[in-house]
Structures are given as C-alpha cells and as structure tokens.
A and B are shown apart, each in its own frame.
Chain A
Amino acid sequence: MKKAISMLVLMSLLLGMVSASFAQQNDVTCESEVVVQVNDWLSKIADKFYGDPLAFPAIAAATNAKAAADDSFATIENVNIIEPGWKLCVPGAADAQTLLDSSAAGVLTQSADISCDSSNVGKKIVLYQQAGITGPLAAITGPGLINGTQDAIKAINDAGGICGATVEVVFNDTAYVAEQELAVYEVSRNSDPRPFVILTYGSGATVVLKDRVNEDKIVNIASGLNGPAVYNPPNGYTILTAPIYSDQFSGFIKWAKDNWASIKPEGAGDEIVVGVIGWDNAFGTGATTDEALAYAESIGVTVLPLEVVALSPTADPTGPIQNLVAQGANVIYNQSLAFTPATVIATTRALGLWDQVVMGGVNWSMDNSMLGSLGENAALAEGYYGVFPYLYWDDTDQPAVRAAQAAFDAGGYPPADHGVGYLLSYASVDAIRQAAIHAINRDGFDNLSGETFLSAMEDLGIVSAGGLFEFNVKDGNRAPSRTQIRQVQLNDAGVPTFVAVTDWFDLPDTRP
C-alpha cells in the first residue's frame, strides 16, 4: 500500500512536470485581461466574451499558462473557485477554440493509429460479449451495448479489419445472473480457438469470473467495477472500463471536501456527512469498502452506514433518505443506477430536502437511463453530480463523440439506447483493436492469445478507447484512475445535459 502511494505521488509529480512544460511551450496571447469582480464566475465571463458559457476551460487554461511565466496572472486550481481581484487572461476566439480542443483532448489519450506489419486477410478474430439484456440491469445497458459493439466492429471491418482479419462478436445473454455468467463463460472459453478477450458488464460477472480468467488467461474487459475482485490477486486478467467504485466514491468525497465552500447546501455546516444509498448486492456495496472508508476518515469526512434500497423500480426510498438526513447527512451518494437514483432524486425533491443535500453518485447513476427513468420529469435531476470518467454524447465538440453519434444515427436506434452502454461498448472495441494490432505486430497473428493481448495492453500502458475514455493498464493498474465530476444542468432548451464542473483529476488510490 505504502509503495503504491509513493508510486502515485511520483506519478503525479511526473504528470505535473509534463503538464507544466506543456503549458510553457504554449505561447498564449491574451486578447483582453479581466480582473475578477464580485459575483463573477468563469462561465459567466466566457459567456460574455465568446457567447458560450461552456468555453470557460479556455480562459482557465490560458490564464494558467500565462501564470507560469507572469506572476500577475492568477493560477486557477479549481475552475469553480475564482476570487475577486484575480487577473485572468481571455484569449481570442480562435485561440480559445484551439485551447478548448487541446485542453479537452489533451487529457484523454487519443486513439493511436498503429499500422500492421502483417496482413491476415481471410482470418477471423472473434470477441465474446456477455451481459444481461434481460434482467434488472438491462435498464442501463440494454441493447445499446450489443449495438455499440457491432457498429464499432462494422466500422473496423469496413476499414480493413484488424490487420486484415475480420472481426466478429458473439453475444450471450446472462440476465446478470452470476450463474449464467459462469455458464456462458464456460461456452465461450471452450470455443476454438480459445478467446483472448471477453467483454462483461456486471459486478457479479467480474467477481465470479476473476479466478477463471486468470487461470484461463483470457482478458476480461469488465464494466462491473468491483475493486476487490480486480486487484485480488493483483495483475489479473480483469481490466475495467472505468475507475473502481471505491476510487470513485473517494474521489467524489475528496472533490466535495475541496469544493465544499462553493457547493455546500445553504445552512449546512462545515462538517461533511456523506450518506450512501445503494443496492443490496456487490455493486451497491462496492463504493464503501474498508479502504474507501479509511480514506474518508483520513480527510475528515463522516460516512454513514449504507442504506439499502431494493433493486426494483417500485422500491420507495423515503425511509432511507429521511434516515440519512435525520443522521445529519448533507451529501447523498447513489451507488445504484437507472430507476433507483431517479426515484431517490424525485423523492428527495418531494420531501423538500433537495436544497439541504448535495446529491451525486457513481458514474452509472448519471446516465441517460437515469434521466429516462424520470421520463417527462427529467429536469428534476438538475443539480445532480456524478463521477464521470469518460466523454459523453453532450461533448459534441469532440470528434470521438461525433463519430459515435454518427454510428448511432446510422443504426437508427431508439433514444432510450442513447446512453453510456452504447458509448462504452463502441469505444472499448477500438482499444481492443489497438492492443490486438500491437500484439499481432509483436508476437504474430497466430500467437494472439489472452496472454499476449494483456502484455500488449501493458506495453501500451494507457490505451485510448476511441478517444472516449482510456484504459489504464500501467504499473499494475487495471482500471482508469482519472475522472471528471459532472453536473446535470439544463441547457437553453430546458434539456438536461451533463456538464463538466471539474477538469480531469486523479482519484485517490483505494485499491485493496
């Protein structure tokens, strides 16, 4: 543990140096200089100068770049907090656009265009995907994950496949029953040739398959972000698409602690008391691990015992919410997804407690499926915070998102599928492509196996998933460790969108 921490410190130091040098190279010219007045905030200034409140990161980036050379400029550590009297640098519109592109793109590794050393036309690469398109969690993944995978594969095949080989995917429904996950896995692992990678989507699958994939040496690209299963033993074959739940939770309370002054509900004290509402299963308890609780204690945040809500759309969370508030909770963290955060939001509003708490949750809780569960009343979610370790459909300025959107439109899928399920599946395939090409270049097509695939991923370290998120397989990592925090905000048309309120930041390390 200690070793891991010092490693992390070292890493962040290195990263800091890199970003600092990056900033100095950038020669930013300020079109105008602004001194912060009382009641100013960044997006307000951005709105004034560019007519786009979302352009604020450009000002922050430009100011920070200037501050490196010129002390008179302020250094903006947190885009939510600017103080009156600070001098800001507002770049010209064109410069701002470049900055925006680079600041957004710069944090996420872009997908690499690795070329192949060999041609394997006529050969086949088969991916195995197992998930529940029936069962309770289907609300979030649904058919989206199948369609996302298939569309991404189609795009790859249209572009000549992976080193000439055609990619195929075999999907099996597991209804998110762990026994079924095992049964389906048994079928997949006995296929000929043995699969080198499978894609799974539930905590149950991550947990029950972890030993199997290690023994069988099959990489499991998993979206069930259960930390203990992935790092026990370390260096296993399970690789996660998003940060483990305990990291996410710790990151969220760290962010809440750092920004308490600006986000705290009216009348709330300085002490942060976090209540967690979650499902009564491996996913629901995934956030509040011993390590995460220890971290919370170390930064002086109180975490109340987990309140359980049944995994059913008809479950009434009135009791848990009132219990938490009665115990003094001023932050409520949802470790659930789709209908449960939706009912928690609606009920908290109904109880008139919405203004007394900061409401947020795990990455899956902040998704189209949650808004969809609120239906016509999606606007109720306004103000909800979520850990957000990937780009989203709202980021239409990102080419990666536009590509996914084009594929989605071409498929003609219903709006209900326009969620994170499609996006992650679509993106994951691209990461598989890069790692597979690297493995094929290094070890030859016929040696493409789980073992070579994993070591190829480790070689690459950070593997971009279509520019939408990044896999982190560096230094024993098995899950990404960076995220943004986003908030549900209504756009001009009154439609809820997920707006980034932080830059990408490193999550606390709560690996078991």
Chain B
Amino acid sequence: MNWVLVPQQIATGILNGGIIALISLGVVLIFKSSEIFNFAHGHLLMLGAYVTWWFAGGNQDGTEVFNLPLIPAFLIAVLVAIVVGLLIERFALRPMTGQPLLSIVLMTLGLALFIEGVVSLVFGVQPSAVFPSPFSPSAVFRVPFPGAMGGFIILKKTLVLSFGAAMLASIAFALFFNFTKTGLAMRATSEDHELARSVGLNVPRIFGLSWAIAGVIATVGGILLAMLTGASLNLSTVVLVAFPAILLGGLDSFLGAIVGGITVGLVQALVQASSNIEVRNSAEIAPYVVLLIVLVIRPEGLFGQKRIERI
C-alpha cells in the first residue's frame, strides 16, 4: 500500500461509487418490479446523455435545432426517457411475458444493440464532448487533509454534484417505494404478478411505470457521466462496472445497490493505491474478484433476500 495516496483514493472511490450506485439503482428497480435483468440499462443511459446533449445545442457548431440551457434540456430528456421506457415495455417486453428468463435477458441485449444503432444513426459515432457542464473538469474542492499527498485531497466538483444527485435519487426512491401507493403496488407486483392482479392492480401499467422510471434514472446517470466525459457511445460500457455492484448488494435491494456501488468504487480506487504495479493494473477486474468472494460467502449478496425454496 502506498499510504500517501490512500486518502485521495478513498475520496475518489466514494464519489465514483455514487454514480455506480445510481446506475445500479436503475437495474435493481427493473429487477424488483418485473424480475428482468436489464442489460440495456447502459444504453438507455447513453441515449439519455445524447438526447440532453442534442437539446442543449449539440456541438454548438451552428447546426443545432435547439439551444436550451442544461436544466430545460434535462427535463425534456426526462420526458423522452419516460416515453422510451413505456415504448420498450409495450413493444419489446410485453410480448415476452411468460417466456423463459434467458429469452428475456437476451431481449434486453437485442434492445441494447438496437439503441446503440439508433444513437449512432441519429447522432453519429463521434463522441460529443461539448456537453453543457456547470463545472470544468479541473474544477475542484481542495480539502486540507494531513497525510495525503500534498497535504490536501481534491474533490472534483462534477463528481461531488453527481454523488449528491445519486444520493438524493436513492432517498427519493426509498421514500417512493415505502410510502406511496404506486410504490407499494410496484413492490407487490414484483412479489407475485397474479396475486397483484387479483387484488386489482394494473400489472402492465406498473411494468410500464417501472420502465419509465428506469429510463429517468438512466437519463440522470447519463447526464452526470456526460458532464465528466461528454456524450459518447462508450458511456454504455459503464454498466459493466455496475453489474458487480448490483450483485454485491443483492439484486433486489435498493440499499444494497447503493452500498454495492460505493463498495465497487472504493475497491477500484483502493487497488490503485497499491505499491505493486500489477495490483494497480487490476482495477478493471477487482470488483469481480470481490464479487466472487462475496458470492461464495453470501450467495444472496450483502442485502439480498434469502429465499427459502420448497418443492
């Protein structure tokens, strides 16, 4: 361990973990309400980033149709995400009702490809870095911290913003699922579709709603990421980091998604503080190694429900 780097890496790790947590939330949401593991979440995220970028004036090269400030562009992107979520549920997933799990998973993969294709057709493949961000990528808070390198740690303002947004969103969802009628209905549906139907819940509507919400979460995540890196097709790959986070926390737990996200962020950051070069270079797989260990010790994840099986 290179201790002088540890404070900074912990700070970076937690902040990065916030975004991972937010992405994980979207996947968990879909899983909780419809038992579908959504591989297309990363692509929804990318779509959200591009839509916002487009409404915010695109590359600012004179070809823009809209040139809105960030917040209105974001709101429109949220509307688009809701529509996209509803469309996906109606036309891609509802026909799959009753199909085996694997087919549905593959459906989301097909969806992912399709979204990628549409985005590159409409927006082109070039990354679009001119993204309206409130902060420059080098704008930071300097927090004095004895023992850290240079005597302070830096918090990138964009990261702090996205961490805050992720936490706010998580709290909002926790409240939504525990205290609102719709939220409770969604939870009930995830327990048992038929039972939910028999007590008068409109199950297709609830599925649609959860896809719409997932679309919104994805858009928020996409914008936060795009503020850091600009909109690009590669944004969708970030979901690969979220997978271990989701499983770490337990597929069906919101709290788990957040804890898992931050854990993954921390693990990735902390291996980089190692003094061994090979350990440092393992940041990419470290979350998966941790995942394997957790799976062997606690197969249902840290916060997942342990299901009792009966024949």
Contacts and interface: CB of A to CB of B under 8 A. Distances in A.
Q: Do A and B come from one complex?
A: yes
Interface string A311-352: 011101011101101100000000000110011001101111
Interface string A363-391: 00000010011111100100000000000
A142 B137 contact: no
Contact of A374 (B16, B125, B137, B156): B137
A177 interface: no
A338 B277 CA distance: 24
A380 B137 contact: yes
Contacts of A380: 136-138
B237 interface: yes
Contacts of A318: 8-9, 12, 269, 272
A359 interface: no
B238 A312 contact: yes
A414 B9 contact: no
B280 A415 contact: no
Interface in B145-175: 149-150, 154, 156
A280 B284 contact: yes
A74 B225 CA distance: 55
A30 interface: no
Interface in B205-249: 225, 228-230, 232-235, 237-238
A326 B280 contact: no
B137 A322 contact: no
B84 interface: no
A307 interface: yes
B138 A377 contact: yes
Given A313-B127, A313-B230, A323 B272 contact: yes
B235 A314 contact: yes
B196 interface: no
B137 A143 contact: no
B103 interface: no
A136 interface: yes
B138 A349 contact: yes
Contacts of B137: 343, 346-347, 350, 374, 377, 380
A170 interface: no
A319 B269 contact: yes
Given A373-B230, A414-B59, A319 B126 contact: no
B93 interface: no
A326 B4 CA distance: 8
B288 to A, nearest CB: 13
A320 B272 contact: yes
Contacts of B150: 351-352
A253 to B, nearest CB: 20
Contacts of B128: 416
Most buried by A among B128, B140, B272, B277: B272
Contacts of A280: 281, 284
B2 interface: yes
Contact of A139 (B130, B136, B142, B232): B232
Report the contact-size class of chain B (Cβ under 8 Å from the partner).
35 or more
A415 B277 CA distance: 39
A325 B2 CA distance: 12
Interface in A423-466: none
A323 B154 CA distance: 15
Nearest to B270: A319
Contacts of A139: 126-127, 232
B126 A416 contact: yes
B126 A417 contact: yes
A134 interface: yes
Contact of A316 (B12, B126, B140): B12
Interface in B236-282: 237-238, 269, 272-273, 277, 280-281
Contacts of A416: 59, 124, 126-128
A23 interface: no
A134 B120 contact: yes
Nearest to A416: B126
A310 interface: yes
B131 interface: yes
Contact of B228 (A314, A352, A414): A314
B30 interface: no
A139 B130 CA distance: 14
B143 to A, nearest CB: 13
B155 to A, nearest CB: 9
B105 interface: no
Contacts of B63: 414
B46 to A, nearest CB: 11
Contacts of B115: none
A341 to B, nearest CB: 13
Contact of B130 (A342, A349, A375): A375
Nearest to A374: B129
A346 B133 CA distance: 14
Contacts of A339: 127, 129, 229-230, 232, 234
Contacts of A346: 136-138
Contact of A308 (B5, B127, B281): B281
B154 A352 contact: yes
B5 A313 contact: no
B283 interface: yes
Nearest to B61: A415
Contacts of A256: none
Contacts of B131: 375
A117 to B, nearest CB: 43
Given A136-B234, A415-B59, A325 B149 contact: yes
Given A139-B126, A338-B127, A415-B61, A312 B138 contact: no
Interface in A129-172: 133-134, 136, 138-139, 142-143
Nearest to A377: B136
A319 B5 contact: yes
A269 interface: no
A305 interface: yes
A346 B273 CA distance: 20
Contact of A310 (B133, B139, B229, B283): B283
Contacts of B232: 139, 313, 339
B137 to A, nearest CB: 4
A375 B231 CA distance: 11
Nearest to A139: B127
Interface string A347-361: 101111000000000
Contact of B5 (A326, A375, A377, A417): A326
B163 to A, nearest CB: 13
A293 B136 CA distance: 36
B129 A372 contact: yes
A323 B5 contact: yes
B140 A319 contact: no
16 contacts: A139-B232, A142-B124, A142-B125, A280-B284, A305-B277, A313-B232, A314-B228, A316-B16, A319-B12, A323-B2, A339-B234, A346-B137, A350-B137, A369-B127, A414-B59, A415-B61
Given A323-B2, A326-B5, A375-B129, 10 more contacts: A138-B125, A142-B125, A314-B235, A316-B16, A318-B269, A319-B269, A323-B5, A323-B273, A351-B154, A372-B127
Please provide the 8 A-B residue pairs with the shortest distance between their CB atoms, ordered closest to farther. A319-B272, A346-B137, A375-B129, A313-B229, A349-B138, A308-B281, A416-B126, A350-B138
